[in-house]
């Protein structure tokens, strides 16, 4: 078993060695974004003017995404339709390096799609295209026939039950029996009220409401009530242990060896709980597969869950986020003295992490601005321009040209300072709230910020110079999603090129 005193990076690295099989209902989550400016003349309903669409793995697929973003090896045993959506699901899984050899395309079933229509951050409607009856006996036999091929190296199986027909009683019992013989742990993300169908499973992970429903409406408001309900569930269902997720009250682990209540380290700003259960069970599974005990696994899952509920929409936990959260928790527990912070450093984020942070800002009603540049040698013109831009928005993001991008723009002698140094200097400015790297890797590649802007979708795009909007290559991208382009004045006589010329001449 790994040492509990391992540092935070070692903990995550241990989880990267783990292999987990997810069995259950995989589906496609589709998000349609737009704006509402009028009511339909045909009936009193809003008209959504569609701007863009996103698709991602849903259901058991979201559990897989969480496993992969933690670095664990993920495998799937499930059924999709032999249709376009089924191909999309398979491609999305393959793009995350998920083993899809256990994903069966059936001509007798349709793939499941959940489509959410949103105006801004307000969900207007959700449509579900699905079949919920149990899969056929022939299809069940086909799934079970592939089970043994997938179990090599697997330490934990997750039964991800969304009640869409893959986890029939036959499938559940057969998998638990096989896992027991091979000493593989079985975790269940449950559905419904009758947990006896999961008899023999090692751990079940209900939330408070599910725990109450599964025990005939028992109260679950206090520690004692949760323990009582969980013990009732264990004795009546044949499941060995319960890990109950309790929102702001953390996680409770109830097993034969006793009970442990794991509290959240700090207050959590909750934006969206969708997908949090998938994150929790994926983290528990990855930790158990890495050899950690159930308490350590639940503690990691509690932190991971608190991170994802602060995101907007369904988004997985990332290994780096968990490392940082563990580090922050260590710092908080090592000192009880209040300290005065005399430093400020904005984060330097990858594109997906940056988008998640922007969605959080927008959900608070904050106006997000963006500008981009090389910022090779920071000077008065840069600082004044950034301060002016920050006065026009609540949060300012810098799109920073990478080293290869600067070379394409300025020649082989540039940049003077590498991208990490430039990012660190910008991040220390009071006007800057985030830095994101972008740009071409070689000549001929797109070296504009268009792709990054389309991904992040800030409210305002600031551009410095004597341009008209139609001369700015990024303007059509910004305008396509409803953003504003603001051309800002430049400060004559201040430029990195002039600074270098002065240094050379002196």
- pLDDT at position 341, please? 44
Segment 367-386 mean pLDDT: 91
Looking at the structure, tell me whether residues 197 and 136 fall in a common domain.
Answer: yes
- pLDDT at position 495, please? 62
Query: What confidence tier does 324 reach under pLDDT thresholds 50, 70, 90?
Result: confident
- pLDDT at position 332, please? 46
- pLDDT at position 275, please? 65
Residue 449 within any structural domain of the chain: yes
d(CA 88, CA 427): 38
Segment 202-219 mean pLDDT: 94
Looking at the structure, tell me whether residues 246 and 366 fall in a common domain.
Answer: no
Domain count, the chain: 2
Looking at the structure, tell me whether residues 292 and 403 fall in a common domain.
Answer: no
- Of the candidates 29, 278, 403, 433, the residue annotated as catalytic is 278
Query: What confidence tier does 339 reach under pLDDT thresholds 50, 70, 90?
Result: very low
- pLDDT at position 363, please? 66
Segment 237-246 mean pLDDT: 93
Query: Could you tell me if 294 and 256 are in contact, meaning their C-beta atoms sit under 8 angstroms apart?
Result: no
Looking at the structure, tell me whether residues 281 and 366 fall in a common domain.
Answer: no
- pLDDT at position 311, please? 61
Looking at the structure, tell me whether residues 431 and 484 fall in a common domain.
Answer: yes
pTM of the complete model: 0.75
pLDDT above 50 (res 361) = yes
Looking at the structure, tell me whether residues 323 and 355 fall in a common domain.
Answer: no
Which CATH number belongs to the domain containing residue 31 in this structure? 3.40.1190.20
pLDDT in tens, 281-291: 999 999 999 99
Looking at the structure, tell me whether residues 53 and 85 fall in a common domain.
Answer: yes
d(CA 506, CA 503): 5
Residue 346 within any structural domain of the chain: no
| pLDDT above 90 coverage of the chain, percent | 63
pLDDT above 50 (res 113) = yes
pLDDT above 70 (res 34) = yes
d(CA 8, CA 297): 13
278 catalytic residue (yes or no)? yes
Residue 216 within any structural domain of the chain: yes
Looking at the structure, tell me whether residues 366 and 425 fall in a common domain.
Answer: yes
From the centroid of its chain, how far is CA 119?
Answer: 21
φ, ψ dihedrals at 305, nearest 5°: -65, -40
5 Cβ contact list (under 8 Å, min separation 6): none
Looking at the structure, tell me whether residues 427 and 480 fall in a common domain.
Answer: yes
What token pair was written down for 245? 């997720």
Residue 429 within any structural domain of the chain: yes
Looking at the structure, tell me whether residues 304 and 360 fall in a common domain.
Answer: no
pLDDT above 80 (res 387) = yes
Query: Could you tell me if 308 and 275 are in contact, meaning their C-beta atoms sit under 8 angstroms apart?
Result: yes
Residue where a domain stops, chosen among 306, 333, 360: 333
Residue 462 within any structural domain of the chain: yes
d(CA 79, CA 68): 20
d(CA 22, CA 157): 6
34 Cβ contact list (under 8 Å, min separation 6): 48, 49, 50, 51, 52, 117, 118, 119
Residue 264 within any structural domain of the chain: yes
Mean pLDDT across the chain:
87
Looking at the structure, tell me whether residues 457 and 309 fall in a common domain.
Answer: no
Residue where a domain stops, chosen among 299, 333, 367: 333
Segment 380-399 mean pLDDT: 93
pLDDT in tens, 261-271: 998 765 555 54
Looking at the structure, tell me whether residues 181 and 294 fall in a common domain.
Answer: yes
Residue 368 within any structural domain of the chain: yes
Q: For residue 137, with 0-12 CB atoms within 10 Å meaning exposed, 13-18 middle and 19 or more buried, which class applies?
A: exposed
Q: For residue 152, with 0-12 CB atoms within 10 Å meaning exposed, 13-18 middle and 19 or more buried, which class applies?
A: exposed
Residue where a domain stops, chosen among 333, 361, 376: 333
The domain of 292 spans 8-333
Tokens 């027991």 map to which residue? 180
Residue 398 within any structural domain of the chain: yes
Q: For residue 130, with 0-12 CB atoms within 10 Å meaning exposed, 13-18 middle and 19 or more buried, which class applies?
A: middle
pLDDT in tens, 415-464: 989 999 999 999 999 999 999 999 999 999 999 999 999 999 999 999 98
């Amino acid at each position: 078993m790994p040492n509990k005193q391992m540092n935070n990076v070692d903990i995550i690295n241990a989880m990267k060695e783990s292999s987990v099989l997810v069995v259950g209902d995989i589906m496609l989550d589709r998000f349609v974004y737009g704006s509402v400016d009028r009511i339909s003349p045909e009936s009193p309903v809003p008209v959504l003017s569609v701007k863009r669409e996103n698709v991602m793995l849903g259901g058991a697929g979201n559990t897989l995404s969480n496993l992969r973003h933690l670095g664990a090896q993920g495998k799937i045993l499930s059924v999709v339709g032999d249709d376009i959506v089924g191909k999309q699901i398979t491609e999305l899984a393959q793009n995350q390096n998920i083993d899809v050899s256990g994903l069966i395309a059936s001509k007798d079933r349709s793939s499941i799609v959940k489509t959410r229509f949103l105006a801004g951050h307000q969900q207007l409607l959700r449509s579900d295209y699905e079949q919920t009856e149990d899969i056929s006996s022939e299809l069940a036999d086909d799934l079970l026939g592939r089970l043994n091929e997938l179990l090599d190296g697997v330490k934990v199986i997750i039964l991800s039950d969304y009640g869409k027909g893959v986890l029939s009683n036959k499938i559940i019992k057969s998998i638990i029996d096989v896992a027991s013989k091979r000493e593989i742990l079985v975790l269940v993300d449950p559905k419904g009220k009758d947990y006896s169908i999961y008899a023999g499973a090692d751990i079940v992970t209900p939330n408070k409401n599910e725990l109450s429903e599964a025990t005939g409406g028992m109260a679950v408001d206090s520690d004692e009530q949760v323990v009582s309900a969980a013990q009732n569930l264990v004795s009546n269902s044949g499941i060995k242990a319960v890990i109950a997720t309790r929102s702001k009250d953390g996680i409770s682990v109830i097993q034969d060896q006793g009970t442990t209540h794991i509290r959240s380290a700090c207050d959590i700003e909750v934006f969206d709980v969708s997908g949090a259960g998938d994150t929790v069970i994926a983290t528990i599974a990855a930790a158990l597969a890495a050899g950690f005990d159930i308490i350590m696994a639940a503690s990691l899952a509690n932190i991971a869950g608190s991170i994802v509920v602060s995101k907007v929409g369904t988004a997985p936990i990332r290994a780096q986020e968990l490392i940082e959260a563990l580090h922050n928790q260590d710092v908080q527990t090592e000192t009880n003295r209040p300290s005065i912070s005399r430093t400020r450093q904005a984060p330097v984020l990858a594109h997906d992490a940056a988008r998640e942070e922007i969605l959080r800002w927008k959900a608070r009603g904050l106006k997000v601005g963006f500008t981009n540049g090389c910022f090779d040698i920071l000077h008065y013109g840069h600082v004044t321009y950034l301060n002016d831009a920050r006065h026009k928005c609540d949060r300012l993001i810098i799109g920073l040209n990478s080293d290869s991008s600067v070379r394409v723009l300025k020649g082989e002698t540039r940049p003077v300072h590498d991208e990490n140094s430039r990012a660190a200097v910008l991040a220390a400015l009071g006007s800057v709230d985030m830095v994101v790297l972008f740009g071409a890797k070689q000549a001929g590649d797109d070296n504009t910020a268009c792709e990054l802007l389309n991904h992040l979708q800030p409210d305002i795009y600031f551009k410095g110079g004597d341009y008209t909007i139609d001369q700015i290559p990024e303007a059509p991208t910004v305008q396509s999603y409803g953003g504003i382009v603001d051309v800002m004045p430049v400060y004559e006589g201040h430029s990195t090129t002039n600074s270098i010329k002065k240094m050379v001449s002196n």
